[in-house]
Structure 1
Amino acid sequence: MIANVLVGLVAVIHLCIVYLEMVLWDTPRGHMVFKLTPEFASASKVLAANQGLYNGFLAAGLIWGLYLGEAGFQFKVFFLLCGAAAGLSGAATAGRKILFIQTVPAMLALIALALC
């Protein structure tokens, strides 16, 4: 039960990232969250939407794994590993706080799954 709650939390995190990158990127809120200038946000919004789409795939995979119940164990593990790897890459290239937003929750969910 705790593992599935954590997997669901990670899915929600990725859905929030989808919204931030695909909808709010070129708005004052998006500028604040991602520390962007309006000029950069405008010029990069197509790239941000593409990033958001990938986060949507991660959320969809996690939700699918939850929907499948016990049969979705491998889906949950795979998509959590993908999310953790994306977080590591983002932390190395964009900002360290991504490690705590993406990687740590995914790793906690993986640990909880392993203990089930």
Structure 2
Amino acid sequence: MHIAAQILIALVCLIHVYIFLLETVLFESRGVKVFGIPKAEVAMRKPAMSNQGCYNGFLAAALLLGLVYPDPAIAKAFATYGLACVAVAGIWGAVTVMVRILYIQTVPAVLGLAALYLL
């Protein structure tokens, strides 16, 4: 796997570890600030955000396996799956939540896919 692909996969993985932490462990402190959630809605949104964070953790795990799995073909499959899921989720987030998600999630994931398959 080309070094540019590895760097981009690692970057997307770290972004999703951070999102996982914001939506689960750090939701009531840092997460509500980052996501701009009004104080009146924190308790109501906490379970859904934790569930969403869990999915972001799974994406990070797939990307991590893409970086460390010893069989290159399987590693590439994990990386492809993780990056494709992140790209699609980012598009959906941009449409349903805020456009900024497109730049935070989809752009790095698509760049990772390009590096994975074009370099």
Task: Give me the TM-score of the superposition, normalised by structure 1.
Answer: 0.94
Q: Once the two structures are superposed, what CA deviation does each residue of 1:75-109 show, in whole Å capped at 9, x if it has no partner?
A: 11111000111111111111010001100000000
Q: Given residue 108 of structure 1, which amino acid in structure 2 is its aligned partner? A: L
Residue ranges of structure 1 left out of the alignment (5+ in a row):
none
Distance (Å, rounded) in 2 between the aligned partners of 1:42 and 1:97: 25
Cα RMSD (Å): 1.1
Name the counterpart of 2:49: 48
Aligned residue pairs total 115
Q: Which residue of 2 aligns with 1:68?
A: 69
Q: Could you tell me how far apart the structure 1 residues matched to 2:36 and 2:66 are? A: 33
Looking at structure 2, the residues matched to 30 and 57 of structure 1 have their Cα atoms a distance apart, in angstroms, of: 19
TM-score normalised according to structure 2 size: 0.92
Moved over 4 A (4+): none
Find the counterpart in structure 1 of residue 40 from structure 2.
Answer: 39
Aligned mates of 2:31, 2:67 — CA distance in 1: 30
Q: Deviation per CA, 1:19-42: give whole Å up to 9, x if none.
A: 110022222x32221111112112
Q: Which runs of 5+ in 2 are unaligned?
A: none
2:19 to 17, 20, 36: 17
